[in-house]
Amino acid sequence: MTTPAQTRPVDLRPLGTSPLRVPAICLGTMTFGEQNSEPEAHAQLDYAFERGLTFIDAAEMYPVPAREETTGRTEAYIGTWLKTKRRDQVTIATKIAGPGRGWTWVRGGPKSVDADNIRQAIEGSLRKLQTDYVDLYQIHWPARSVPTFGGYQFTPAADDQVTPIREQLETLGALVREGKVRAIGLSNEHPWGLMQFLRLADELGLPRVASVQNAYNLLNRTLDFSMAEVLHREGVGLLAYSPLAFGHLTAKYVEDPSAQGRAKLFAAFGQRYTKPNVEPAVKAYAALAREAGLTPAQLALSWVFHRWSVTSTIVGATSVDQLKTNLDAWDVRLSEDVLKQVEAIHLRYTNPAP
């Protein structure tokens, strides 16, 4: 593998069958308003823009962790920055929060992602973002019982907060017709849900889902044997989030148990990384990286950046220096030998953090 002296620009790729073309790396913003101040957020946005990362992902519930005092700051910080740019130069994605989290300060703690909640959410996001439209509008997690954020078993008995997919899709389709949304997407979704959205879109003449935003990294490749075929055959883009597995794939936590980071600051959001095989898998990938003359982060990021199934990888940071280091991994190409060794480790520690 080589790291060229001059940084190559990231690819521009079609986002599913939508009219959008997006960079192969997307700026994640869930730290804006919690770990990052507004000037720090703007500095990251400026740097990303200069590097050609004109694709920005947010959510109405951000920053993480969700708190009444901070919810909405992320979109507000992006909004003040967006006013300094020509709107058609930037692709803005955001998400409506799903039910079941008990956040009474988000639309009264919605019980569903129904028509009323979708409209309330998009209007709130448009106000904070200071724009007339969102390029990609996503459902943050399904409005039904599915394993998410570290869960790994479907539980039918918990299925008490279901919103009919047809109602969700019809409302999103109306927003597209009204010009408030250019394309629609899902997040933390499963194959059955995606196929229902696609089937109904084709039957009813409604917009097809352009993308699915799911966790995808060396510790969590469940997508490979479930969702990947659907995405490929149906022409849906993958937005891969958490390529560094909440920082674990930098190996900083196994090398220095006192190291600080998101996994320590927001432990409740990192439950999927407390499972038994996470630590040995991280150590194995870190050792492979160093044998190849790379940092653990370069190995992890390059693997996701250049994976055939990934349309764009969502990369977040808490400083411009960290963001630069992460973006520079785009230039790293893993050799066939290294990729074979990645697969060998994967077979030894298969999906330790689903």
CATH of the domain at 35: 3.20.20.100
Structural domain boundaries enclosing 102: 12-247+304-333
C-alpha torsion 318→319→320→326, nearest 10: -50
Residue 57 backbone phi and psi in degrees, to 5: -110, 130
Contact by Cβ (8 Å): 24, 11: yes
pLDDT band for 6, please (50, 70, 90 cuts).
Answer: very low
Using DSSP's 3-state secondary structure scheme, residue 199 falls into helix
Q: Respond yes or no: is residue 62 known to be catalytic.
A: yes
Residues 6+ apart with CB under 8 A from 97: 59, 60, 61, 103, 106, 107, 110, 121, 140
Handedness of CA 26, 261, 289, 345 (dihedral sign): negative
Short-list 45, 58, 50, 56, CA closest to 22: 56
37 belongs to a structural domain:
yes
Which of 47, 62, 241, 349 does the annotation list as catalytic? 62
What CA–CA distance (Å, rounded) separates 136 from 15? 10
Phi-psi region of 137 (alpha: psi -120 to 50; beta: other; left: phi over 0): beta
327 belongs to a structural domain:
yes
pTM exceeds cut of 0.75: yes
97 belongs to a structural domain:
yes
Short-list 330, 342, 322, CA closest to 247: 322
264 belongs to a structural domain:
no
Short-list 313, 120, 116, 319, CA closest to 223: 313
314 belongs to a structural domain:
yes
To the nearest whole number, what is the mean pLDDT of the chain? 94
How does pLDDT run across 80-132, given as a tens digit for each residue?
999 999 999 999 999 999 998 889 999 999 888 999 999 999 999 999 999 99
183 belongs to a structural domain:
yes
- Number of domain units in the chain: 1
259 belongs to a structural domain:
no
What CA–CA distance (Å, rounded) separates 64 from 59? 10
74 belongs to a structural domain:
yes
pLDDT band for 160, please (50, 70, 90 cuts).
Answer: low
Handedness of CA 323, 324, 325, 330 (dihedral sign): positive
